[in-house]
């Protein structure tokens, strides 16, 4: 990565304003999944150890520019305080005189969490005056919120114009894994794409096709490709508007794109629907494909053997229904069993699926960024990264 990190800048005694991704699920005023908070700990702990005055900021949910008490970051301050084993002060807002006073009073090693940046409409508008107000709180800006780096908001991009700006360790790790896969992968390099729609991921398919040795396609996305090849997908989710694009991609990806050979079909879109396994040319009228079949699992697993780099986005089926989760879980296990391979998984639903599969700890890198990882795989420059200082 060619961006400076917290290691490249003197933070001792400085007020360091850190954009983290604390957009975590809450229930009854408690954090129910603290993965994102834990992911930010290395940067926070490093800054504490270096004697910085740590000021954290994040968005939470979609308050639409208004103060919504149920979207306060207060429960996160409590949770973080437990994880760090030290008090975390909670600010009543993210800008303004009272918050500035709190920031000014911090001692080296203290931690202050600002209130939800999206309580202000100026955050999402990337309003320069608001970004300057945020910048007033710190001497240095650190972006460790990879999951928000694809958005040019005041706390992810705007503020970096007014302070020396560097990456945190989570940001560095994400950019290193995803960047290496795209720029200098150990080969064979195989990508697996799935999920509901190809229209969401045409840019990703195009960019990856130029880089991978093989592209395995499953999930709802595969239906459109199969239909484009002339198969009748019956009631399956097919994007008619994307059939021409699918045909074009099949041509571009000739010899690289690998599609399912069999499918698990259902007589309704329902967890308890009747199911059966059919070859791709025998989807019965009135039925729909909700998972890849066992022959496809074997075929994909076979293609994966010997891979040295694997990037996966998008479930192989409707894994939310246990009867249609096997394809996704089997591919997760296949990745987990690869030896000497760098395996990378990105995407909100994909990450949830891999956690459910029970093999998450055998994956090299599970990205904390859903949309951000997809935009990165598309080859786009993320605004929250572009604005950081080069090495």
Applying CB under 6 A, the residues found at the interface with ligand ADP are 194-196, 200, 219-220, 237, 289-290, 313-315, 317-318, 320, 347-350, 370
Q: Which is nearer to ligand ADP, 158 or 315 (CB)?
A: 315
Give the residues across from 279 on adjacent strands.
262
| Minimum CB distance to Mg ion, residue 320 (Å) | 11
CA 233 – CA 227 distance, rounded (Å)? 6
Q: Which does 369 bind (CB under 5 to 8 A by kind): ligand ADP, Mg ion, none?
A: none
Q: Which is nearer to Mg ion, 149 or 341 (CB)?
A: 149
CA 337 – CA 332 distance, rounded (Å)? 9
> Could you tell me the two tokens for 177?
């894994």
* DSSP structure string for 329-344: HHHHHHHHH-SS-EEE
Q: Which does 237 bind (CB under 5 to 8 A by kind): ligand ADP, Mg ion, none?
A: ligand ADP
Q: Which is nearer to Mg ion, 149 or 307 (CB)?
A: 149
| Minimum CB distance to Mg ion, residue 352 (Å) | 9
Residue with tokens 């053997």: 305
CB-based burial, 349-375: b 16+ in 10 Å, e otherwise = bbbebbbbbebbeebebbbbbbbbbbb
Q: Strand runs (DSSP E) across the chain, as ranges?
A: 15-19, 26-27, 30-31, 53-57, 89-90, 111-113, 140-143, 165-167, 189-193, 214-217, 257-258, 262-266, 275-279, 288-292, 309-313, 342-345, 365-366
Q: Which is nearer to ligand ADP, 168 or 194 (CB)?
A: 194
Q: Which is nearer to Mg ion, 122 or 349 (CB)?
A: 349
Selection from 93, 138, 97, 136 nearest residue 116 by Cα: 93
Contact at 8 Å (CB) between 378 and 150?
A: no
Q: Which does 185 bind (CB under 5 to 8 A by kind): ligand ADP, Mg ion, none?
A: none
Selection from 222, 353, 225 nearest residue 289 by Cα: 222
Selection from 240, 238, 245, 207 nearest residue 221 by Cα: 238
Contact at 8 Å (CB) between 282 and 262?
A: no
Q: Which does 75 bind (CB under 5 to 8 A by kind): Mg ion, ligand ADP, none?
A: none
Q: Which does 196 bind (CB under 5 to 8 A by kind): ligand ADP, Mg ion, none?
A: ligand ADP
| Minimum CB distance to ligand ADP, residue 184 (Å) | 24
Restricting to residues 85-104, name those near Mg ion by CB under 5 A.
none
Contact at 8 Å (CB) between 170 and 39?
A: yes
| Minimum CB distance to ligand ADP, residue 308 (Å) | 23
Catalytic residues: 36, 197, 348, 371
- Number of Cβ within 10 Å of residue 87's Cβ equals 12
Q: Which is nearer to ligand ADP, 62 or 187 (CB)?
A: 62
Q: Which does 293 bind (CB under 5 to 8 A by kind): ligand ADP, Mg ion, none?
A: none
Check residue 371 for interaction with Mg ion (CB under 5 A). Answer: no
> Site for Mg ion (CB under 5 A): which residue of 110, 115, 262, 349?
349
| Minimum CB distance to ligand ADP, residue 354 (Å) | 9
Contact at 8 Å (CB) between 291 and 327?
A: yes
Q: Which does 290 bind (CB under 5 to 8 A by kind): ligand ADP, Mg ion, none?
A: ligand ADP
Provide Rg for the chain, Cα atoms.
23
Q: What is the largest CA-CA distance in the chain?
A: 70
| Minimum CB distance to ligand ADP, residue 328 (Å) | 8
| Minimum CB distance to Mg ion, residue 203 (Å) | 16
Check residue 348 for interaction with Mg ion (CB under 5 A). Answer: yes
Q: Which residue is nearest to Mg ion (CB)?
A: 349
# binding residues, Mg ion (CB under 5 A): 2
> Could you tell me the two tokens for 207?
């960019």
Q: Which is nearer to ligand ADP, 112 or 204 (CB)?
A: 204
- Contact residues toward Mg ion (CB under 5 A) are 348-349
């Amino acid at each position: 990565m060619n961006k400076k990190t917290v290691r490249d800048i003197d933070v001792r005694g400085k007020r360091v304003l850190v954009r983290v991704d604390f957009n975590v699920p809450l229930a009854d005023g408690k954090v129910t999944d603290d993965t994102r908070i834990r992911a930010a700990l290395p940067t926070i702990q490093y800054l504490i150890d270096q004697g910085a005055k740590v000021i954290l900021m994040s968005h939470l949910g979609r308050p639409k520019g208004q103060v919504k008490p149920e979207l306060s970051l207060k429960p996160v301050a409590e949770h973080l305080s437990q994880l760090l084993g030290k008090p975390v002060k909670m600010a009543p807002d993210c800008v303004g005189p009272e918050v500035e006073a709190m920031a000014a009073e911090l001692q080296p090693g203290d931690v202050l969490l600002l209130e939800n940046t999206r309580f202000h409409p100026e955050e999402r508008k990337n309003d320069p005056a608001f970004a300057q107000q945020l910048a007033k709180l710190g001497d240095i800006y650190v972006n460790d919120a990879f999951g928000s780096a694809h958005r040019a908001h005041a706390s992810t991009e705007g503020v970096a114009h007014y302070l020396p700006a560097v990456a945190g360790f989570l940001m560095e790790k994400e950019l290193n894994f995803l960047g290496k896969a795209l720029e200098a992968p150990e080969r064979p390099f195989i990508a697996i794409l799935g999920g509901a729609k190809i229209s969401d991921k045409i840019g990703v398919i195009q960019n990856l096709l130029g880089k991978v040795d093989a592209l395995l396609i499953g999930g709802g996305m595969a239906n459109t490709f199969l239909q484009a090849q002339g198969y009748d997908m019956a009631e399956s989710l097919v994007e008619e508007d994307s059939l021409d694009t699918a045909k074009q991609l099949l041509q571009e990806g000739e010899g690289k794109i690998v599609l399912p050979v069999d499918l698990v079909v259902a007589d309704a879109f329902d967890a308890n629907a009747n199911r059966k396994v059919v070859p791709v040319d025998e989807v019965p009228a009135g039925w729909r494909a909700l998972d890849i079949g066992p022959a496809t699992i074997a075929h994909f697993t076979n293609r994966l053997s010997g891979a040295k780099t694997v990037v996966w986005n998008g479930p192989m089926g409707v894994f939310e229904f246990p009867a249609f989760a096997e394809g996704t879980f089997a591919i997760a296990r296949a990745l987990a069993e690869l030896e000497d391979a760098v395996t990378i998984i990105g995407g909100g639903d994909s990450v949830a699926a891999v956690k459910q599969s029970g093999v998450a700890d055998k994956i090299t890198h599970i990205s904390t960024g859903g949309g951000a990882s997809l935009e990165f795989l598309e080859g786009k420059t993320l605004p929250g990264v572009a604005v950081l200082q080069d090495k």
